[in-house]
Amino acid sequence: MKLIFILMALPVLASTCGKEKEKDGLLKGKVVRQTCASMVVQVLNNDSIGEDGWKDMMNNNAQYDNVFSVANVCKLPQGVKAGATITFKTATPVNSGCIFCMMYDAAPKAQFDITDVFIGK
């Protein structure tokens, strides 16, 4: 009887293994680029968010997948700079009142607000 119970429980226990789930919907990302015109984040733990095949014209056309432009840059904590690893949630962009310069830097077309930002987690 115990053997049957163990055999029935095994698939349930095995299904909990695998990829690490995002806790509370938090995403992990890396700030790829920051200019006065845009901030670009690459999502590291979810392949379904962002744009694939984006080329950074300011970095020898380096190609990235799962990237997006941050719409609410002025609302982020200090320390969120190029190269930083961050955890965050995404939201549909709303008018944040952030001011951007008029420089054209070919940012990704995918755009999100990010909230609940933590640096280096």
Give pLDDT tens digits for 44-66. 999 999 999 999 999 999 999 99
Domain extent at residue 105:
35-119
Measured between alpha carbons, how far is 57 from 46 in angstroms, rounded to an integer? 24
Q: Please report whether residue 46 resides in a domain.
A: yes
Q: Please report whether residue 86 resides in a domain.
A: yes
Q: Please report whether residue 77 resides in a domain.
A: yes
Q: Please report whether residue 62 resides in a domain.
A: yes
Q: State the pairing for strand pair 85-91/111-119.
A: antiparallel
Across 99-107, average pLDDT: 92
Q: Please report whether residue 58 resides in a domain.
A: yes
Q: Please report whether residue 71 resides in a domain.
A: yes
Count the Cβ atoms, other than its own, within 10 Å of residue 30.
16
- Give the model's confidence band at 24: pLDDT under 50 very low, under 70 low, under 90 confident, else very high: confident
Count up the domains in the chain and report the number.
Answer: 1
Q: Please report whether residue 75 resides in a domain.
A: yes
Q: Please report whether residue 100 resides in a domain.
A: yes
Partners of 67 in the beta sheet? 42, 51
Token pair for residue 15? Answer: 């299904």
Q: What is the pLDDT of residue 108?
A: 97
Q: Give the pTM.
A: 0.78
